[in-house]
Chain A
Amino acid sequence: MSEPRGARPQIEPQGARPQIELRALRKVYPTPGRDVVALDGIDLSVPRGAIHGIVGRSGAGKSTLIRCLTGLERPTSGSVTVDGEVLSDLPESRLRSARRRIGMVFQHVNLFDSRTIAANVAYPLEVAGVPKAQRAVRVAELLDLVGLGERADAYPAQLSGGQKQRVGIARALATEPAVLLCDEPTSALDSATTRQILALIRDLRDRLGITVVLITHEMGVVREICDSVTLLEHGRVVEHGPLGEVVGAYGSRLARELIPVPDLPLGDERSLVEVAYSTDDVATHDVLAAVADLGTQVEIAAGTIETLAGRRVGRLQLDLPADEVTAALGRLHAAGVHAEVATR
């Protein structure tokens, strides 16, 4: 089996300090009975202007990680550096002003129902002590930026879920943060609205050069906007890397989930072999030729070929007699094609 390529350290742009850097981050929640280790030695760096996805099952530690990035949660050990400021060392009073360099978007948006849209967006500016006249100008700018200029005087209850999240994004951007943290920003939205919100986030990154960390459990979100991705499990980084590398790491879990093939029923005495390739390594017709060479007993039961992160990648499920598996794997490997018995 090939080594997951995503396990390599991430490549940083030459000379640039990463915008976000976690070193040996550990967070333990002391609970009665037993301590919960939510984060267990996380190393992570995100370059300026990148959109970095963090995925993992519920309870993997994603929210804890993002709370450490806001300074709402103090690490048990290790360091958190955001925009050159070592948050993990700052006293609470300094943390409050450091948080102005961080914007956060929540799954449940968390707008203030008692305030108008404009007042919601103005809140962080109010907190930062921006004079009223300046606030009004900035709020109008921000609402235009997210396409809600006309709804300034509405209350959150009068908006749709997608519009609320736009307000949430405008509010997060109010103090011109260097970093935008998003905790499941689209999990409560339908798929069309999800795409619009993701497009907005990407557009904002392109225009403002902001660095984005985005937590999600939907691989579709990662495929749509992330430049790089980290898979968390039990508080540890299991896989990580730029999207293009991760999808090319054939055996990796991220690659499997990013380019899924359906689960297939299996006949008696039959086995499934999974073939994965990238056209950087081998052309599609060579893969298909190698598969065809295996003989008529071998059927392509399912397959996906697509372009992701600028890379054309494919994944095939071969349905073949169980006693031909070893021979087939040998011949495919000899042809330079990655293949393994499908795990299900």
Chain B
Amino acid sequence: MSWWDELANNRVIQQMLPEATYETVAMVAVSSLLTALVGLPLGVLLHATAPGGLAPQRVVSSVVGVVVNFGRSVPFLILMIAVIPFTRWVVGTSLGWEAAVVPLTLGAIPFYARLVETALREVSPGKVEAARVMGSTRTKIIGGVLVREALPAIVAGLTVTVIALVGYSAMAGVIGGGGLGALAISYGYQRFDPSVMIACVAVITVLVVAVQVIGDLTARRLDHR
């Protein structure tokens, strides 16, 4: 029997891989969406309140900066365990992919916020100055100039974040988050079925490549420089 037949006829793969893939995709998709929704405004806040920004606010800037740095420095495995009570409070349980979304999102937000801030910093201050001379308000400048001009980099940052989330989602499987990670651990590792392990790795690789390709294409379409 060839290695391919072995993979294709493996009962565990047949029965559990589709479900695990769905869980991973769902977990990553929902946490990516939430991360983008919170991380983007947070990145804008970091940029705008920084010294020399559109609305410098020393206190806000340092408080948010410290929180974000703290969030980024906590190892994901520890964060996952530490937020279990919070997860239970939000989702009602600490098991399943829905529960895994909570630590994944909490871990990714500060990461993405910093990437957004970096992207915004690359927008030349001259463009902001030009918009101000033209009578634009700070709020309009944030959306119409800063974020818009940085959009290719913001999308590239989101691509990096989503790929990181795919990786972390596998780790979330370890503490009952489900998905491809859980499948790989319980069958590939604990029952030592290399076929399951290979299948999981293959699907994860395909997911990562797909995210990268879609992200790159989107960023390129948005980039007119």
Contacts and interface: CB of A to CB of B under 8 A. Distances in A.
B11 interface: no
A112 B148 contact: yes
Contact of B135 (A96, A113, A157): A96
Contacts of A106: 126, 129-130
A124 interface: yes
Contact of A108 (B126, B135, B145, B222): B126
B131 interface: yes
Contact of A102 (B131, B133, B140, B149): B133
A113 B134 contact: no
A96 B224 contact: no
A127 B143 CA distance: 13
Interface residues of B, number: 21
A83 to B, nearest CB: 14
A278 interface: no
Contacts of A156: 224
A104 interface: yes
B225 to A, nearest CB: 5
B220 interface: no
Interface residues of A, number: 25
A31 interface: no
Interface in A95-140: 96-97, 99-100, 102, 104, 106, 108, 110-115, 123-124, 127-128
B62 interface: no
A72 interface: yes
B51 to A, nearest CB: 12
Nearest to B125: A110
A157 B134 contact: no
A113 B224 CA distance: 6
Contacts of B127: 110-112
Contacts of B224: 113-114, 155-157
A124 B222 CA distance: 22
B132 interface: yes
B124 interface: yes
Contact of A72 (B132, B151, B222, B225): B132
Given A128-B135, A155-B224, A110 B130 contact: yes
Given A114-B222, A155-B224, A70 B151 contact: no
Interface in B188-225: 222, 224-225
B10 interface: no
B137 interface: yes
B136 interface: yes
B137 A96 contact: yes
B129 A110 contact: yes
B149 A110 contact: no
Given A104-B130, A114-B224, 11 more contacts: A99-B134, A102-B133, A106-B126, A112-B149, A114-B148, A114-B149, A123-B131, A123-B144, A124-B134, A155-B224, A157-B225
| Top-10 shortest CB links A-B | A110-B130, A155-B224, A124-B134, A110-B126, A99-B135, A96-B135, A104-B133, A127-B136, A113-B225, A157-B225
6 contacts: A72-B132, A99-B133, A100-B134, A111-B127, A156-B224, A171-B134
Interface of B: 124, 126-127, 129-137, 140, 144-145, 148-149, 151, 222, 224-225
